[in-house]
Amino acid sequence: MRWITLLLTAAVVCLIPASAEVTTNEIVPYSQEIYLPCIGETVSLSGSSHIVSTVTIDATGGIHLQSHAQLVGVSGTGLTSGDTYRAAGTEQNSENTNAPLPFTSSYVATFRLIGRGPGADFWLHQTIHLTINADGTVTADISNTSGSCK
């Protein structure tokens, strides 16, 4: 009887994958108000965001997240002028950890708000990176944001 239990246990352990991966693909509502320094007005935006995320757990228990989001059909109206705008944007996010540490995270976003006429467009780019070693030491903490009116 003991041999049967050992054989069944060994068989079950062999069936457990060394790693597992889950991917989600969804479209969620997007709504936001953004102040445009270019024209001194707030724009109310609405539409959708298409998000694809993958979470992987490796053989050592490490957790890895990759996600990509893209605005879909997002448009808006200036709250003062009534002018119309279209929005385009993407976000990339990557996180890795052997919980709780070490930990790395990288985030890159690009956002464009396109209006009618010259000087009515707004562009934003953001990059963020954080690395924390296994001993808790922060070895990288970078945040760069740039925006411009066009």
Closest CA to 102 of 72, 137, 73, 145: 137
Lowest-pLDDT choice from 6-15, 87-96, 125-134: 6-15
What CA–CA distance (Å, rounded) separates 57 from 137?
24
Lowest-pLDDT choice from 15-19, 20-24, 36-40, 66-70: 15-19
Q: How does pLDDT run across 27-45, given as a tens digit for each residue?
A: 999 999 999 888 899 999 9
**For residue 145, pLDDT beyond 90:** yes
Concatenate the DSSP letters of all residues of 46-58 into one string: EEEEEEEEEEEE-
**For residue 62, pLDDT beyond 50:** yes
What CA–CA distances, in Å, run from 114 to 2, 56, 95? 71, 37, 31
Sequence-distant (≥ 6) Cβ neighbours of residue 89 within 8 angstroms: 70, 71, 74, 109, 110, 111, 112
- Better pLDDT: 23 or 20: 23
Q: Mean of the per-residue pLDDT values for the chain?
A: 87
Sequence-distant (≥ 6) Cβ neighbours of residue 140 within 8 angstroms: 129, 130, 131
**For residue 7, pLDDT beyond 80:** no
- Better pLDDT: 7 or 46: 46
